[in-house]
Amino acid sequence: MAAAALLGGCGGAAQQDTTPAACLRGPAAFAEALRAAPGDVQLKGGVTISGCLVRNQSPGDLADVGASLVKVSTDLNARARHDPGGPPTVQLGFLVGAVARAASKTAGIHAELLRRIQAAALYGPAGKPPPPPFDQTYEKGYAAGKDHG
């Protein structure tokens, strides 16, 4: 029984180190899930965005998930600049908040990814700040992402 308990404990830890398959389906999977922001954003199988960033994530999985998240952040930034008070801005804030949520729990391995996503999210052509309703709308999404993303 003790051996079974030890094996069970190891299995649980291994699952925490494995990137869910839903997270490896590319940018379209994240973009589709984010349409529900600021509500219940989930990938296939009920995986949250923060659930895609696990402790001791393999470098390949981190690169794949990271590339998808940066792509989505970049695309949402462009759309949010055209609709600063609309859904793309909420989705963008939610994405950044969800990654910040995960990064705060993974001993720093996702800090660089968070920095890149924030840079993509807040990029402004020629250094121009986003239009006024952007900040409030982005913050609404960010708070939701931090809370349950």
pLDDT digits (tens, 9 = 90+) for 53-107: 999 899 999 999 999 999 999 999 999 999 999 999 999 999 999 999 999 998 8
Burial of 25 (0-12, 13-18, 19+ CB in 10 A): middle
CA distances from 34 to 12, 14, 18, 56 (A): 28, 28, 22, 25
pTM comes to 0.88
**Which SS3 state, helix, strand or coil, does residue 55 take?**
coil
User: What mean pLDDT is predicted for residues 33-56?
Assistant: 97
Indicate if the pLDDT at residue 38 is higher than 50: yes
Query: Which of the four pLDDT bands, split at 50, 70 and 90, describes residue 16?
Result: low
Burial of 149 (0-12, 13-18, 19+ CB in 10 A): buried
Domain that holds residue 101: 2-148
Indicate if the pLDDT at residue 127 is higher than 90: no
Instruction: Say how many domains are in the chain.
Output: 1
